[in-house]
Each structure stands twice: as C-alpha cells, then as structure tokens.
C-alpha cells in the first residue's frame, strides 16, 4: 500500500499528517513512535539502507515488488513448468502467464514484462508519438502484447507494484505517477487485497483533487474508489459514487465512450447486489446494445454486462419462466464467447459458468410442476 500509516502503531496519517525520519522519510504519528522504532524495532540498522534505496516509499515498493513476484511465480509454477520467457528466451527465475494465451505462448518474467513496458513508454515520450500511442503502450503494464487480454490475479498485482516503483519518484502532478498509482490500486484489487487497494485509492482520489485534475480524471478516481467500497461490502457507498459517475460520464463523454459503458456496468453490478433488479435490468437493456455495437461481443466488458443482466433475470424472486429461459440462453452464449476469448482458466469464465449452472437449476425448478397435494400413494394404501 501507499505509506499512509505510522510505521510503529499504524495510526492513519493520510498524505500529510505526522512526521518523517529526516534521513529516509519513514513516517510516524509523533516523536514517541519514531524513538521506539529507532531504539527497539531495528530502524537504526535499516535507515541508511532505506535512504540508499531512495527513501521509505521506494524501499517499501521495491520490497513489495519482490514479494509479489515470488507469489505470482509460485501461483503459475505448474502452468509454466519447462517453458521459457518469450521476451528474453531464458527459463531462469519464475515465469508467469495468467492472460488468455494458450499452448506454449505468453510465458514471461514479470521483470521482462515491466522492462518492456518501461522502454516502450519512454520511447513514445521521447519521440512525441502522441496520446493514442501513449495509451496503447501504457497497456503493456497490465495486458499481454500477444493475446492483448488483461492479466489477472496475482500477476496483475506484481505488475502493479512494478509500475508503481518505476514512477513513484515523479512529481505528484505527473501523469505517469498518477497512472501508476491507479495501476497499483487495480492490481491489489485484482489480487483481492481490498483493504490495501482502498488505502491506495483514497490517496489517489485525494491527490487527484489537490493537483486540480480534469473532471474525467476525477471520475476515474471515483470509479476506483467505488470498486473498493463494493469489494469490501460497503454497497450503499459504492452505489452512491457509481450512480454519480455514470450520469456525469454520460453528460461529459456521451453514451458510446468506453468509460461511460464501464461506469454503467459498475452501477448495474451494485444494483444487482442490492437486489434492485428492475433498475438493473432497465439500465442494462439500455446499455448492452451500446456496448455490443461499440466494443463488440468479444470485449470483456460486454461479456460482464450480459452476465450481470442474466444474473438480474434469474436471481429476481419474481422471475417468470420467460425470464429464466432468457437468462439461460444469454449465459450459454456468453460462456461460449468467454471460453473462446479469455480461456477456461480465466476467473470471469469460471464465474459465468457457475452462474449458468445456477440459472439452469432455477429454470428446471420452475419447469417442474409441484406434486399434487391430493395425490394418493401408488400402492393404493
């Protein structure tokens, strides 16, 4: 997480409270904790090392990067056995994948993926290649250059730390630093470190407002914050933010913008979770055709919107037989597409498959007539 707590007692300091070590910038709530850290918890031995690494934030990011790379490599060990990195050609160090590549494609070292992303972005900046190219190359921090699908789970988390440690030393108003903070928050969220993701996203939102970011950047930050609220079960807070983001996006960007479509998806997801099924179905019936037209049926956002729509249909206690049949048909089509595009191991594919099983069970239960109350025993007793 971003260092927003006292290193000794974990008191929340935000981005500006408390005091810092004069040498390495480790943060404390006050002099007492700073003294205790130095005398009893080994800071006297670490202080010079932390300063040499670039300060407390850099040292922390480097340490977390090393830890999360090891976790990612261990999680992918079975899949990557006997393979080589498609970037450097080496089989040393732990390899990862967790994208939509199949067969022998897509295996890489996290360090190689990070270096590739860093070089591509630096080249685009140096040669003034324009915003479109910058956006495309920034995607290398979170998506595979071969299958072009996002990484997921612990690989996303490791790349998030790699990105943050690369750009955290830049000024607060530097776009790459802000984007790296977003990437870290998303990586922590994807690996289900939701409390840590919330801390990062709260810091991100605070900085976004303080540096006078654009309205669109603030909407992105609010979206990330709402996602963390949702993951932590703070549904009403999430819904309030998501509703505002959706209508502001609609006003500022129009219905066909990718961020507007994404905000509609987030808003609908919370409505479903809060069992506000009619509102969710109404929103999704309006926005799914836009997503299919603009993004295409193979886009993961379109797949998720159709999945949420089917969920709103079959989990509604008032679902009709036609609703249940539509849910099953929708999920069958969505599952086939997800399996083809994302692969069977992708978490979204697995969750759609589970929903399909539940929808089929609900349909079977609805189609099977209950036993007649006056039925007699078949033996005639």
pLDDT digits (tens, 9 = 90+) for 41-58: 677 767 777 666 567 888
For residue 381, the model assigns a pLDDT of 39
Matching residue, tokens 């070590």? 21
Give the 3-state secondary structure of residue 91: coil
- Kindly report the three-state secondary structure assignment for every residue of 18-50: CEECCCCCCEECCHHHHHHHHHHCCHHHHHHHH
Residue 369 above 80 pLDDT?
A: no
- Cβ atoms 3, 57 nearer than 8 A: yes
CA–CA gap between residue 244 and residue 287 (Å, rounded): 16
CA–CA gap between residue 33 and residue 178 (Å, rounded): 30
Whether the predicted model's global pTM rises above the 0.85 cut: no
What average pLDDT score do residues 171-180 get? Answer: 92
The alpha-helical segments, DSSP class H, found in 127-193 are 131-138, 154-167, 175-190
- Cβ atoms 309, 284 nearer than 8 A: yes
3-state helix, strand, coil in the chain (%, to 5): 65, 5, 30
Q: Which of 158-162, 200-204, 344-348 has the highest mean pLDDT?
A: 158-162
Question: What's the CA dihedral at 73, 75, 76, 79 to 10 degrees?
Answer: 150
CA–CA gap between residue 87 and residue 106 (Å, rounded): 9
Q: What is the CA radius of gyration of the chain?
A: 24
- DSSP of 261-307, one letter per residue? HHHHHHHHHHHHHTT-HHHHHHHHHHHHHHHHHHT-TTSHHHHHHHH
Structure tokens of 85? 């990195």
List of long-range contacts for 361-369, beta carbons under 8 Å, 24+ apart: 362/314, 362/319, 362/324, 362/327, 363/314, 363/321, 363/324, 363/325, 363/327, 363/328, 366/319, 366/321, 366/324, 367/321
CA–CA–CA angle 132, 135, 138 (5° rounding): 150
Dihedral sign from CA coordinates of 327, 333, 336, 341: negative
| Residue environment code for 39-51, b if the CB has 16+ CB neighbours within 10 A, otherwise e | eeeebeebbeebb
What average pLDDT score do residues 290-312 get? Answer: 97
CA–CA gap between residue 302 and residue 291 (Å, rounded): 6
Residue 1 above 80 pLDDT?
A: no
| Residue environment code for 245-278, b if the CB has 16+ CB neighbours within 10 A, otherwise e | bbebbeeebeeebebbbbbbbbbbbbbbbeebbe
Q: Of 349, 340, 330, give the one whose Cα is nearest residue 284.
A: 330
List residues bridging with 156 in a β-sheet: none
Separation of CA 216 from chain center: 19
pLDDT tens for 228-255 read 999 999 999 999 999 999 999 999 999 9
Give the 3-state secondary structure of residue 55: coil
For residue 292, the model assigns a pLDDT of 98
Model confidence band, residue 367 (pLDDT cutoffs 50, 70, 90) = confident
- Cβ atoms 301, 291 nearer than 8 A: yes
pLDDT tens for 310-352 read 999 999 999 999 999 999 999 999 999 999 999 998 999 999 9
Indicate the length of the chain as a whole number: 381
Mean confidence (pLDDT) of the chain: 90
């Amino acid at each position: 997480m971003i260092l927003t707590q006292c290193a000794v007692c974990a008191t929340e300091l935000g981005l500006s409270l408390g005091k810092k070590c004069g040498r390495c910038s480790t943060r404390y709530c006050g002099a007492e904790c700073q003294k205790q850290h130095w005398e009893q918890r080994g800071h006297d031995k670490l202080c010079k090392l932390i300063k040499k690494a670039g300060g407390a934030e850099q040292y922390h990011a480097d340490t977390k990067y090393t830890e999360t790379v090891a976790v990612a490599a261990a999680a992918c060990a079975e899949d990557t056995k006997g393979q080589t990195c498609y970037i450097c050609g080496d089989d040393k160090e732990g390899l990862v994948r967790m994208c939509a590549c199949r067969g022998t494609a897509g295996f890489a070292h996290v360090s190689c993926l990070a270096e590739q992303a860093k070089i591509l972005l630096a080249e685009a900046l140096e040669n003034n290649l324009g915003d479109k190219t910058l956006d495309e190359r920034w995607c290398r921090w979170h998506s595979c250059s071969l299958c072009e699908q996002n990484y997921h789970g612990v690989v996303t988390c490791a790349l998030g730390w790699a990105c943050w440690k690369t750009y955290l030393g830049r000024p607060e108003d530097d776009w790459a630093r802000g984007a790296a903070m977003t990437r870290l928050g998303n990586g922590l969220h994807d690996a289900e470190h939701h409390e840590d993701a919330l801390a990062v996203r709260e810091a991100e939102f605070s900085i976004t407002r303080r540096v006078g970011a654009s309205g669109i950047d603030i909407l992105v930050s609010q979206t990330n914050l709402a996602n963390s609220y949702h993951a932590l079960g703070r549904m009403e807070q999430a819904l309030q933010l998501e509703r505002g983001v959706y209508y502001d996006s609609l006003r500022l960007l129009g219905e066909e913008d990718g961020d507007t479509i994404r905000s509609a998806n987030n808003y609908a997801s919370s409505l479903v979770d809060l069992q506000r099924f009619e509102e969710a179905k109404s929103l999704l019936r309006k926005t799914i055709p836009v997503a299919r037209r603009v993004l295409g049926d193979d886009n993961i956002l379109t797949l998720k919107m159709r999945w949420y729509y089917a969920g709103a249909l079959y989990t509604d206690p008032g679902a009709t037989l036609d609703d249940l049949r539509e849910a099953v048909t929708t999920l069958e089509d969505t599952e086939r597409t997800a399996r083809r595009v994302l692969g069977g191991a992708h978490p979204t594919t697995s969750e759609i498959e589970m929903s399909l099983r539940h929808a089929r069970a609900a349909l079977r239960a609805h189609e099977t007539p209950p036993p007649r109350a006056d039925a007699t025993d078949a033996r005639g007793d």
